[in-house]
Amino acid sequence: HCMDKSKKLSIPKKSKSALRSLSLTQSLLLASGITIVLLIGVYYLGQIKGFENIRALFLERGFIQYLITFLGAWSFAISFLKQREINWEKAKAVETKKHFHWSLKDDVDQVLNKIAHAVPGVERTRLFKRIQRAFIAYQSGMESNDLRDALLEQSERDSENVELSYTILRVLVAVIPLLGFTGTVLGISNAVGNFSSVIESAKELEQITQHLGGVTTGLAVAFDTTLLSLLITVPLMMYTSALKKREDELLLEIDEFCEYEILDPIFQEKSKEKHLADIVEQLDQKVLDDHLTAMSKTVQVLSDLNSNIQKQQSMFAESLQKFGEVSNALLQVSKNQEFWADQIMSLEKTNNHLEAIFKTMETLPEGMKSVLIKTQENYYQNLIQEMDKIINTFEAKDSKTSEKLNAYLTYEEELMKALKQTLEGIHQRLSQLNPILENLNKPVTITLSHQTPSPK
């Protein structure tokens, strides 16, 4: 994935070691040129009256002065090239910040390509590489804290590279004073050696005075090498410290830019997502609690409805049983009525038959007529007695049937009242259940608020 990004953005593939070797070669060539120009300038400057000491300081104190001059020129050449790179990178960083516009919805490839086309050469800057690393890590699905750790690791690596880039300068700053001390030791040693030889060979004071020039020359070498090394080292240390401070400030600006422009939006988005997830979780819990409450009330209402329905079923079963008994009683009454109708028809037939007999008895003798009349009276008396028994029996049965019918009608009235009360209770329970179901069906509106943290 990283290789694809580099190919797509046409990032230079020159290695860091090649860049360092190129900078080292440039600094050596520049140092050689500076040394030659400086020595030629000092030589001609020494021709002017009053500047003889400067020529002597650089040209007349042995090879150590030349070595110190070259190393000093090399140090300043490295510092100059580094300053130029820092200024160039600072200018590119300003342009990069000006053209950097990114939100989480934007395509990171387009953002990087836009910066690369708007700011030529930006691919070699540490800021662009840091942005590119952050985008690649973000696209790979890295978590926010891991992304922060990756950028922190890159920042530490850049700091280590900066420290390594000053290694040669630190060595040169340390070596130049040592060369000055070496020249001092050599000069003093030469002066002491010359003075010893003068004392051994000279017999008179005039000879000693004539040979003191070699001693003073050695002392001049000793002091001038130290002076030259100090004159080069002190400004070089100040210059190097200023460069190091500027480069550290550049790295700090890169860190702050990545923190506020890349990490903060990602962390804010993650914070919003987490806040939304917490709200959704709370909402889910609330909806679940509401559903459980509604389900509990619904089960209670349905349980009451079920008990009422079972009660009505038992009452209807009892009503059907009583209706069967009343139906049987009414059927028996109907049978009794048919029986009575048959008896009345039989009596009418018997009465007609007797009337016919009486008409024929008028021609019979008196004795036979009285016997027949008495027989008829006995028959009628027995018939009346039997009829009374039957009537009493049927009246008793009709009375029981009437009582059953009245009891059934009373029960039906009570059943209707109970049914009405049950229906009213069901309607009341349903009216209680309806708002609960309507409330569950209503959409839930969530208002999210997020405060953007102020920059530190």
Q: How many CB atoms lie within 10 A of CB 75?
A: 27
Show the tokens assigned to 151.
């950028």
In angstroms, the CA 77 to CA 94 distance is 26
Q: Give the 3-state secondary structure of residue 290.
A: helix
Q: Give the 3-state secondary structure of residue 61.
A: coil
447 or 168, which is more confident?
168
Is the pLDDT at 289 greater than 80, yes or no? no
Question: Backbone phi, then psi, for 143, in 5-degree steps?
Answer: -65, 160
30 or 223, which is more confident?
30
Show the tokens assigned to 389.
């028994």
For residues 5 and 14, the answer to whether their CB atoms sit within 8 Å is no
* 452 contacts: CB under 8 Å, gap ≥ 6: 268
Max CA pair span of the chain: 232
Q: Among candidates 259, 274, 270, which has minimal Cα distance to 104?
A: 270
Show the tokens assigned to 52.
């003889």
Show the tokens assigned to 383.
């018939």
* 361 contacts: CB under 8 Å, gap ≥ 6: 368, 369, 372
In angstroms, the CA 32 to CA 121 distance is 29
For residues 228 and 68, the answer to whether their CB atoms sit within 8 Å is yes
**Placement of tokens 């410290």 in the chain:** 241
For the chain, give the number of residues. Answer: 456
pLDDT per residue as tens digits for the range 215-272 = 556 666 677 788 888 999 999 999 999 999 999 999 999 999 988 888 888 777 776 6
In angstroms, the CA 73 to CA 451 distance is 56
Least confident stretch, 19-23, 169-173, 365-369: 19-23
Q: What is the pLDDT of residue 23?
A: 73
pLDDT exceeding 90 applies to what percent of the chain? 16
Q: What is the pLDDT of residue 87?
A: 93
Please compute the mean of the pLDDT values over residues 355-378 and round it to a whole number: 67
In order of 51, 126, 292, 295, the CA distances from 145 in angstroms are 65, 22, 39, 43
In angstroms, the CA 393 to CA 385 distance is 12
Residue 309 identity: I
In angstroms, the CA 215 to CA 212 distance is 5
Domain boundaries, the chain: 2-286
* 448 contacts: CB under 8 Å, gap ≥ 6: 272, 275, 276, 279
In angstroms, the CA 251 to CA 126 distance is 8
Show the tokens assigned to 155.
């920042």
For residues 297 and 433, the answer to whether their CB atoms sit within 8 Å is yes
For residues 177 and 229, the answer to whether their CB atoms sit within 8 Å is yes
Is the pLDDT at 13 greater than 50, yes or no? no
For residues 241 and 170, the answer to whether their CB atoms sit within 8 Å is no
Q: What is the pLDDT of residue 195?
A: 60
In angstroms, the CA 150 to CA 266 distance is 14
Q: Give the 3-state secondary structure of residue 119.
A: coil
In angstroms, the CA 296 to CA 223 distance is 103
427 or 218, which is more confident?
427
Q: Among candidates 243, 224, 239, 238, which has minimal Cα distance to 69?
A: 224
pLDDT per residue as tens digits for the range 74-83 = 999 999 999 9
- CB neighbour class for 360 (10 Å; exposed up to 12, middle 13-18, buried from 19): exposed
Q: What is the pLDDT of residue 441?
A: 65
Q: What is the pLDDT of residue 5?
A: 41
pTM, two decimals, is 0.56
Mean pLDDT of the chain: 75
37-46, 250-259, 295-304: range with highest mean pLDDT: 250-259
pLDDT exceeding 70 applies to what percent of the chain? 64
Q: What is the pLDDT of residue 277?
A: 67
